[in-house]
Amino acid sequence: MSKRDKRHSCKLVAVQTRREILRTSVAAAASIALGNAAPARQWKLGINTYCLRFWRFNDRQLIDWCVKEKLDAIFLQDSPDPGVMKPEHWAEVRAWTKDAGLHLETGGSALLPKTPEGFAASVATLRKNVERARAMGATMVRALLVSDRYSMPEGPVEKHVETGVKILREVRRQVLDANLKIGIENHKDIQAWRTRQMIEAAGTDFVGSYLDTGNPVFVAEDPLTTIEELGPVALSFHLRDSVVYEQPGGIAVQWVPLGEGTNNFRALVARAAEIMSPNVHIYCKPITARPPVVLPVYGEEFWTKWFPDARSHDLARFEALAKRGQPWNKPHLMADVEGVRDKYMDALKIQQMAHMEQSLTYCKKELDLGVRWRS
C-alpha cells in the first residue's frame, strides 16, 4: 500500500470512528436522560494495590487487607514485595488468592525502549512478566506504551506505536499458550483512539485495554471518551477521579478521592456496563497527594508537538468537562513529589489510607459496586 493510500485509509478510519462515537454518545445521553444511569450489572470489586504503596505492604498483607474489606478481586501492581520476581513466591501468591477467593490480575512496566538497541530487552521483560502472571494464576498482564508523553523518544508517535506493536507480537504465542491477555493501560502518553489502534494492530486475540479513568485528563480527554473508545476491548476497569477546571493558561487537572471530582461516575460506570465484557472486574484506584497540573491546551505547541492528530470533538468534550469543574479545596497534603515525599511520609501514609477507605465506601455505597461485602 502506498503512503497516499495509507493516509486515505487512516482518514476513512477517523471518519468512521467519529461516527461511531457520535452514535454512542447520543445513546449514552438518552440512557441517562431516561434515568437509566445505574449500572446494568453487578460488578465484582477490587483495589489496585499501587494506591497503598506508601504502606510498603508485602503481597500477603495486601491480600489479607482485601479479605478484611470483603473485596472480590485484587490487582497487584508495582508490588514492593521482596519476592516479587521469584518463582517460588509466585506459587505462594497463587495459593493465597485461591484460598481467599480473590480474582487476581497483575502486570509490568512500559513497553517502549529508550533506544532501538533496547528492543530485545523490552521483549525479554514482557516475557518475564507474562511468565510471572501465569504462575500467579492471573488472568491478564498489564503493560503500557510509555509512562508519559515527556518520556517518549524523539520522532513521530506513529513510529513508537509501531514499535509497541512489534514488541507485543513477539510474545503473542507465549501469551496465548498461557491463556492470558495483555492489557495496555491508557496512560499519560497517547489518547484513547491511538491506544485502540495499537491494540487492534497487535491483535485483539491476545491484547486488550487496561482502562483507567484517571489518566485521560492528562492527555486532554474526557474519561467518557476513553470508555467509549476502549470499553469494547477492555480487560480490566480502574476508577480514579479528577478535578478538571479552567485556569489562566489552560486547563488544570488533579487527582482526588473517588466522588470528589468533576466526573459523573454513575454515568461512566453505567456506560461501561453497556459496552464492556461481563468478565471485566472493576478496581478502586485513587491516587492523591499530587499538586494540580495545568495543560496548556490553548497554545499551539501542546497540539503540534504531542497530539497533532487530535480530534476536535474530543477536545470540545474535554473543555465542556472543565467548564463544569472547580479546584478541590478540601484540606489535603500535596507532598507526593520527588524530593519531598520522604519528609512527609508518615502523614502521606495516613492520608493515603483515609482516601482509599473513602473511595471504597463511595464505590460500594454510591456506585453499588462489589458482591462479597453485601453478605
All domains in the chain, ordered by first residue: 42-374 (3.20.20.150)
Run of H or E residues at 60: helix 59-68
Q: Are strands 241-247 and 234-239 parallel, antiparallel or unpaired?
A: unpaired
Strand order in the sheet with 250-256: 241-247, 250-256, 293-295
Task: Evaluate if residue 8 carries a pLDDT over 50.
Answer: no
Find the largest Cα–Cα distance for the chain. 61
- The CA distance from 177 to 298, in Å, is 48
- Long-range contacts from 147-156, C-beta under 8 angstroms, 24+ separation: 147/110, 147/187, 147/188, 147/189, 148/187, 148/188, 148/189, 148/218, 149/188, 149/189, 149/190, 149/219, 149/306, 151/110, 151/189, 152/112, 152/189, 153/112, 153/114, 153/115
36-40, 57-61, 210-214, 270-274: least confidently modelled range: 36-40
Task: Evaluate if residue 309 carries a pLDDT over 80.
Answer: yes
- The CA distance from 345 to 354, in Å, is 14
- Average pLDDT on 291-319 reads 95
Task: Evaluate if residue 85 carries a pLDDT over 90.
Answer: yes
Residues in Cβ contact with 107 at an 8 Å cutoff, skipping those fewer than 6 apart: 75, 77, 129, 133, 140, 141, 142, 143, 183, 185, 210
- The CA distance from 75 to 79, in Å, is 10
For residue 293, what is the DSSP state?
E
- Average pLDDT on 4-20 reads 42
- The CA distance from 146 to 114, in Å, is 10
Task: Evaluate if residue 17 carries a pLDDT over 90.
Answer: no
232-246, 274-288, 299-313: least confidently modelled range: 299-313
- The CA distance from 127 to 125, in Å, is 5
Helix (H, G, I), strand (E, B) or coil at 84: coil
- Average pLDDT on 202-226 reads 98
pTM (predicted TM-score):
0.89
What pLDDT, in 10s, does the model give residues 93-148? 999 999 999 999 998 999 999 999 999 999 999 999 999 999 999 999 999 999 99
Q: What nine digits make up the cell of 172? A: 503473542
Mean pLDDT of the chain: 91
Q: 269 or 154, which is more confident?
A: 269
Q: How confident is the model at residue 27 (pLDDT cuts 50, 70, 90)?
A: very low
Using a pLDDT cut of 90, give the percent of the chain over it.
Answer: 86
Please give the pLDDT value at position 154.
87
